[in-house]
Amino acid sequence: MPKFVLDGKEIEFKPGQTIIQAAKDHGITIPHFCWHESLSVAGNCRVCLVEIEKMPKLAIACSTTAAEGMVVYTASEKALGARNAVMEFLLINHPLDCPICDEAGECKLQDYAYSHSAGESRFVEEKNHKDKRVPLGPYVMFDGDRCISCSRCIRFCDEIAKDNELTFVKRGDRVTITTFPGEELDNPYSLNVTDICPVGALTNRDFRFRARVWDMSANKTICTGCSRGCNIELWVRNNEILRITPRQNEEVNTFWMCDHGRINTFKFVNAEDRVDGPHIRKEGKLVKVEWNEALTQAASKLKKFAKNEIAFIGSAFATLEDNYLLVKFAHSLGVKNIDFIRHYIPSFADNILRREDMTPNSLGAEAVGVKPSQGGLNIDGIINGIKEKKIKAVYLIDDDIAAAFPELEEELAKLDLLIVNATNINKSASVADIVFPAATYAEKNGTFVNFQGRVQRLKPAVATVEDDRALDGLEMSRLDKFGTKFDRWAQGHKYDAKSSWKILSALSIEMGFKLKFNMAEDVFSEIAKNTKAFSGLDYDVIGELGAQSKLQPEEKIITT
Amino acid sequence: MAVKKREKDLTLLEKMYIPEIVKGLSLTMKNMFKPKFTMKYPEEKFIPPASYRGRPVLVMEENGEERCVACGLCSRVCPALAIEVQAAETEREKERYPVKFEINMLRCIFCGFCEEVCPEEAIVMSKDYELAFSHREDAIYGKDKLLTPVIQLKDRIEFLRSYK
C-alpha cells in the first residue's frame, strides 16, 4: 500500500483516499466541521487546512487526495495560524450564548474554541442576527444565529434520507438554511441532522432544554423500533430516559437511526401506566399483591388445566432469554400450543434502515423455538381456540394480544385464566387475571437477533427495585457517582419489575420443575449450547457491536 | 519524699492582694470607656461588608424576572452538589429559564464558586447569614426563597465588578 508522511509519522492509505480519511483510519483526528465520513465532501468550513510540502498554499485535508510520498503537517506554524484564523472567522458571528444553547457540552465549535483558538476576539462590531427558533419540521428546531453553514444537514437530507428538503438561501454573511417553499423537514430520518450539526443550530424539539449532557449517563443498547435493531445510546438522568441517540455500527445502522425509533420507543418506560409490582384480579379489579402470593396463585391455577387447554404466547419484543425460558416452561408442562404474534407494517419499510417487521427479535424468537410443537396450534389456531373456548388458559409475555386482535378483547376477558407479563397496563393486561410486572428493554440484560441474523446485546439503562446502578454495571453519570440515596436527584422512581425469564423461572419453582438461572448470561450460554445457530457465542463475543449468528438473514417478509 | 523549698515567700503587701485587685479593676474601668467590639445580637444585627459570603441567592431584575438562564454551570461546579437546576423554554429573548432552582443549604459550603462561574451574574453571595432550620426539608431553598431584588444586592455586584 502507498504511504505518506503525516506529522513525521509514515501512514498507509488506500489509493484515492483523502488525507483526513486516511488519518482517521489511523486514529488521528484532523479538526473538521463540515466533513463527515458518510457524506460527500463540501470543503466549506476550512478548519482542516494542513500544510503540504512543495505545495504553494495550505490545502484542506478533507478534499485533498493522499499521494505517495506526500509530507503533511497538521501542527506547523502555518497550519496552526490558519486554523486560528478560521476559528476567529467562524466565531465572529456566532453568538456567545453557550449557557442557553442546548449543544453546550457536546458542541464541536465549543471544543475547538478551547483547543484550536486564540481565545480572544478582535471583532468589536455588532454581530449578525438571523431568525431564531424556526421550527423546520415536527421534530427539529433551527437557530439561524448559531449556524456555521457547514451544510452537513443539507447533504444528509440529499444523500442519506434521499429527500431534498433543506437548502442555503442568501449569500455572504447573510447565508442561512431553510426548507424549500411548501416543504417541511419531515423525512423519517430528520432527527439525525441534530446529531451531525456541529453546533446548536439544529436541536431536537422533543429534548430541548430538558437536561445538560453532562448530567446524564449514556447507556449502550439496541433500538426496539423495528427488526433493524439500530445500535443506540439511552441517555438517563435520575432513572429516567430523556433521549436516544444512534451509535455507530457499520454492519447495522452506520451512523443513523429513524425518528420513530428515537421518539416512540422510550416514553413508555417512565409512563404512568407502568405495572409496578404483581397484580391479581380480586372482585373484578386488579389489586397489587406480594410476589409470593401472585406466584403461588398463578401456579395453582395453571395446574388445573389440561395440556391442550393451555396456550403460551411468546413475544418478538422480548429477548432471546425470555422466549427461551417460555419455551422451556411450556415444554415442561407438555404444552404444544406455543407461538408469537407478528407485527408487520409493510408501509413502514424503506430502502434505508426501516423494516416491515416492527419487532426487534422475531428471528430470535423463532430460533429458540417459539413455534407450535408437533400437533400444537400456531397463533391462528390459538385465536380460534380462544373463540371456540377450546383454549381456556393463556400465558402471554411482553406483548398485547388484545390490541393486535381487537375482536378478541371480550373473549379474552371470558377466559378461565389469562396470565400476562406486561410492562404497562395495556388492553390485554387490563382484562388479565394475573399481571406480572415485566421489565422493559431498558431495564434488563438480554439479546436480540435482528433481521440479518445478527445477535446484539441489550444492557440495562434504568434501574428496577432489585438493581443498583453501581453494582449491576449500569452507566453512571456524575450525579449517580457522588449522590447518596437521600439526595433528590437519586430518588427517581424504581419500578418493581423483573425480566420475563426471571418471572418464569420463579414460577417454575412454584410449579415443581426447577428452571433455575442466576443471570441472563447463564440463560444465553444454555441457548448457545442447545441451539446450533448460536453455538460459539457468549456475551463477551457479542460485545457492544453484536456478532453474526448462523441464522439465515430474513430475505422476504411474509405479510399476513 | 523531699519537699522543695519555695524560692521566695510573699511579702505582706502581696499577701493582702489589694494592689493586685486595684490593678485589675483599673483595667476593667479603662475598658469600660473604650469603644466596644461586641454586639447585642439578635437585637442588634451585624451588617457584613460586600466581600462577605453569605447564602447564595438568585438576582431578580426590576421586572420581577430572574436573570438565570438555567445553564447549569453552578450546579456543575458546586463541589458539594448542593444546587439542582431544571431548565425549560420560555418566550423571552433568552429562551431558557429555570423552572426549578433549588439549593440544599445543608450541603452548601459557601465557597462562592457558583457566583464565580455564573456567566449571567445571576447567582451572587448575599449578606444573609441567619440559617437555622427545624426540619431537613426546610433547608432546601427553592426559587421563592432564592430570588432577591437586584437593589438589595447592589453592594455585592459592585464588589464583584471591581475585581473583573
Q: How far apart are the first and last CA of chain B?
A: 73
**What is the mean predicted confidence (pLDDT) over B46-53?**
94
Minimal Cβ distance to B89: which of A209, A214, A479: A209
The answer to whether A327 touches A314, Cβ cutoff 8 Å, is: yes
Which of B84, B91, B97 has the most A C-beta neighbours within 10 Å, making it the best mutation to test the interface with A? B84
pLDDT computed for residue B37 by the predictor: 85
Tell the residue number behind the cell numbers 437593589, with chain if given.
B151
Do A210 and B87 count as a contact with CB atoms less than 8 A apart? yes
Distance to chain A for B58, nearest Cα, Å? 16
pLDDT computed for residue A68 by the predictor: 93
pLDDT digits (tens, 9 = 90+) for A286-315: 999 999 999 999 999 999 999 999 999 999
* Cell reading at A13: 492509505
Tell me: cis bond preceding B98? Omega within 30 of 0 counts. no
pLDDT computed for residue B3 by the predictor: 80
Fold classification of A279-548 (topology level): Rossmann fold (3.40.50)
- The answer to whether B77 faces chain A, any CB pair under 8 Å, is no
Cα nearest neighbour of B82 on chain A: A487
Reported as half-sphere exposure (CB side, CA atoms, 13 A), residue A224 has a value of: 24
Cα nearest neighbour of A212 on chain B: B72
- On chain A, the residues whose CB falls within 8 A of the CB of B66 are none
Distance to chain B for A155, nearest Cα, Å? 29
Residues of A with CB under 8 A from a CB of B: 97-100, 104, 132-133, 208-212, 214-215, 479, 482-483, 487-489
**What is the mean predicted confidence (pLDDT) over B105-109?**
93
Tell the residue number behind the cell numbers 433455575, with chain if given.
A516
Cα nearest neighbour of A104 on chain B: B71
* Cell reading at A448: 436480540
The answer to whether A73 touches A116, Cβ cutoff 8 Å, is: no
Do B81 and A487 count as a contact with CB atoms less than 8 A apart? yes
How far apart are the C-alpha atoms of B149 and B59, rounded to whole Å?
6
- The answer to whether B154 faces chain A, any CB pair under 8 Å, is no
> Is A222 strand, coil or helix?
strand
The answer to whether B128 touches B45, Cβ cutoff 8 Å, is: no
* Cell reading at B67: 436573570
Task: Single out the residue of A559, A538, A540, A557 nearest to residue A549, CA to CA.
Answer: A538
How far apart are the C-alpha atoms of A13 and A3, rounded to whole Å?
6
- The answer to whether B157 faces chain A, any CB pair under 8 Å, is no
- The answer to whether B71 faces chain A, any CB pair under 8 Å, is yes
Could you say which residues of chain A have pLDDT below 70? 554-560
A to B CB pairs, distance under 8 Å = 41
Q: How far apart are the first and last CA of chain A?
A: 52
- The answer to whether B100 faces chain A, any CB pair under 8 Å, is no
Do B72 and A212 count as a contact with CB atoms less than 8 A apart? yes
CA-based torsion, A404, A405, A409, A413: positive or negative: negative
Minimal Cβ distance to A99: which of B69, B81, B84: B69
pLDDT computed for residue A557 by the predictor: 46
Minimal Cβ distance to B69: which of A100, A482, A487: A100
Q: What does the DSSP assignment read for A438-453? A: BPPGGG--EEEE-TTS
Domains defined for chain B, CATH in brackets: 56-163 (3.30.70.3270)
How far apart are the C-alpha atoms of A423 and A84, rounded to whole Å?
53
pLDDT digits (tens, 9 = 90+) for B16-26: 899 999 999 99
Sequence ranges of the domains in chain A: 3-92, 279-548
Which residues, including other chains, have CB under 8 Å from residue A215's CB and lie 6 or more apart?
A: A237, A477, A478, A479, B72, B75
- On chain B, the residues whose CB falls within 8 A of the CB of A104 are 71
Phi/psi for A364 (5° steps) reads -70, -40
Minimal Cβ distance to A100: which of B84, B95, B140: B95
Mean pLDDT (chain B, rounded): 92
Minimal Cβ distance to B89: which of A208, A211, A214: A208
Minimal Cβ distance to B76: which of A209, A214, A483: A214
pTM value is 0.91
Which residues, including other chains, have CB under 8 Å from residue A419's CB and lie 6 or more apart?
A: A298, A301, A302, A393, A394, A395, A396, A432, A433, A434, A435, A436
- On chain B, the residues whose CB falls within 8 A of the CB of A208 are 89
pLDDT computed for residue A486 by the predictor: 76
pLDDT computed for residue A555 by the predictor: 53
What b/e readout covers A126-141, taking b as 16+ CB neighbours within 10 angstroms? eebebebebebbebbb
CA A231, A237, A242, A246: dihedral to nearest 10 degrees?
Answer: -20
Higher confidence at residue A297 or residue B136? A297
Which residues, including other chains, have CB under 8 Å from residue A219's CB and lie 6 or more apart?
A: A233, A234, A235, A236, A442, A459, A460, A461, A474, A475
Reported as half-sphere exposure (CB side, CA atoms, 13 A), residue A128 has a value of: 19
**What is the mean predicted confidence (pLDDT) over B76-92?**
93
- On chain B, the residues whose CB falls within 8 A of the CB of A97 are 94
* Cell reading at A154: 443539507
Q: What does the DSSP assignment read for A158-184? A: IIIS----EEEES-GGG-EEEEPTT--
Distance to chain B for A172, nearest Cα, Å? 26
- On chain B, the residues whose CB falls within 8 A of the CB of A488 are 84, 102, 140
- The answer to whether B81 faces chain A, any CB pair under 8 Å, is yes
CATH class belonging to A3-92:
alpha beta
Cα nearest neighbour of A478 on chain B: B76
Minimal Cβ distance to B81: which of A97, A133, A483: A483
How far apart are the C-alpha atoms of A513 and B154, rounded to whole Å?
76
How far apart are the C-alpha atoms of A445 and A539, rounded to whole Å?
10
Reported as half-sphere exposure (CB side, CA atoms, 13 A), residue A498 has a value of: 18
pLDDT computed for residue B1 by the predictor: 64
Which of B95, B101, B104 has the most A C-beta neighbours within 10 Å, making it the best mutation to test the interface with A? B95
- On chain A, the residues whose CB falls within 8 A of the CB of B68 are none
